[in-house]
Amino acid sequence: MDSLSSQIIDQLRRSDRAIADLIAKEAERQETTLELIASENHVSPAVMHAMGTCLTNKYAEGYPGARYYGGCVYHDQIETIARDRAKQMFGCRFANVQPHSGAQANAAVFMALMEPGSTFASLVLKDGGHLSHGMKINFSGTYYKPVHYPLHYGVDHPRREQIDYDAVKAICREHKPKVLMCGYSAYPRVIDFKKFREAADECGALLVADVAHIAGLIVGGAHPSPFPHAHVVTTTTHKTLRGPRGGLILTDDEELAKKIDKAVFPGMQGGPLMHVIASKAVAFGECLQDSFKAYAAQVVTNARALAGALVERRYRITSGGTDNHLMLVDLRTRSDKLTGADAEKWLEAAGIICNKNGIPDDPRPPRVTSGVRLGTPAVTTRGLREQDMTTVAEFIDRVLAAGLEGESPLATTTATVREQVRDLCRKFPMPH
């Protein structure tokens, strides 16, 4: 924890010891564990501290130059800087930096581009999509009509568990969706945005790319950009962008930009979180530095190294590997007794944080799963490199192997690995 954060916690402790103590414990947890959840990262002190400012005191409904409250002169300047930096990052003409989350950004885009009951096409959640891409109990599946394109499922298919672009076109021809979505929460391969645009154009759909997971890789040049192919791009601002928790919407189309702005406000939300927008601006400034390109490249290098080290230890990586920051690990090749739920619990006890995750065509239910999702954005932020991924893979395998042997071997191994993880974390401290 940096000195300013420590001072803030000390000040908070004077007025609310319970919350201050819990924040301090969480800081200690983060500092002493390896964060392998693919959707999480560690922000810089500058990004963190921008969120804890007097900007949280202000209502600023509307947009720069068109607010519904007075006293927004500096908020206008902050939001303008955030928008300009977002446009520069992605090489596009319009940016809305107000969405509170990636799911809310998607909701605003749906409202802007479709009417209730309209059909859209996406990848189903169980194969790596997102709940806001058509899950039945989500707004996207309640108020709109999702149809889904599949992955390649054949065991012997050379592109097993990768996007079936021919099937994308076939689904679009059959259902004539108003929107075609791509971009996923658990897909480890490069997305061919050009092929998606061809499918969208063929059926008259608008292409929306939800790049929440890979946005930082795109900005850093480690993954192809959705522009100029996508009509609209949505993303979170955390994950690989390494900013605060929030959303972002981008487009090159002026008319769509106007519809999106209206959908965000007043359509989806009231006052923007100006303290978070300021933090987004700080993060975007960091993304525009040359060092961020090196970071993005190292994230991918580390992911491939971790995947390779796990394959050597008899785990299967779905789709045969990874091209980005994440991988889905099929635990059944190590042992058919291993479940994602057990792996998540056992690894957390050893200081390795990940999440259980279904694999394509998973026979187990979502609360159990046959796999885990691992990602390298956070450990790369701490400075770990590809040689360290072998160590991490060894930790993972030792814990899971011990868990298969029983409670006593598991307890002994997790205690030992937990101390080794602490030692590794001391070697690679959090951003200061």
Q: Which residues are catalytic?
A: 59, 61, 210, 236, 239, 245
Grouping H, G, I as helix, E, B as strand and the rest as coil, residue 419 is helix
Q: Reduced to 3 states, what is the DSSP secondary structure of residue 355?
A: strand
The three-class DSSP label of residue 206 is strand
Structure tokens at 248: 């972002």
- Quote the tokens at residue 140: 């996207």
Look up tokens 């804890």; give the residue.
52
Distance of CA 384 to the CA centre of its chain: 20
Q: Which of 245, 330, 348, 383 is nearest to 36 (CA)?
A: 348
- The partner residues of 248 in beta bridges, in order of sequence, read 235
Across 173-246, where does the E strand assignment appear? Answer: 179-182, 206-210, 232-236
d(C-alpha 392, C-alpha 216), whole Å: 23
Q: What residues contact 137, with CB distance under 8 A and at least 6 apart?
A: none
In terms of residues, how long is the chain?
432
Please state, in angstroms and rounded to a whole number, the distance separating the CA atoms of residues 317 and 129: 18
Distance, in Å, from the CA atom of 231 to the CA atom of 305, rounded to the nearest integer, reads: 34
Structure tokens at 114: 């479709």
Q: Which amino acid is it at 371?
A: G
Rounded Cα gap, residues 334 and 284, in angstroms? 41
- Amino acid, res. 115: E
Do 267 and 109 contact (CB within 8 A), yes or no? Answer: no
Helix (H, G, I), strand (E, B) or coil at 192: coil
DSSP per position, 143-182: SSEEEEEPBP--TT-TTTTSB-HHHHHHHHHHH--SEEEE
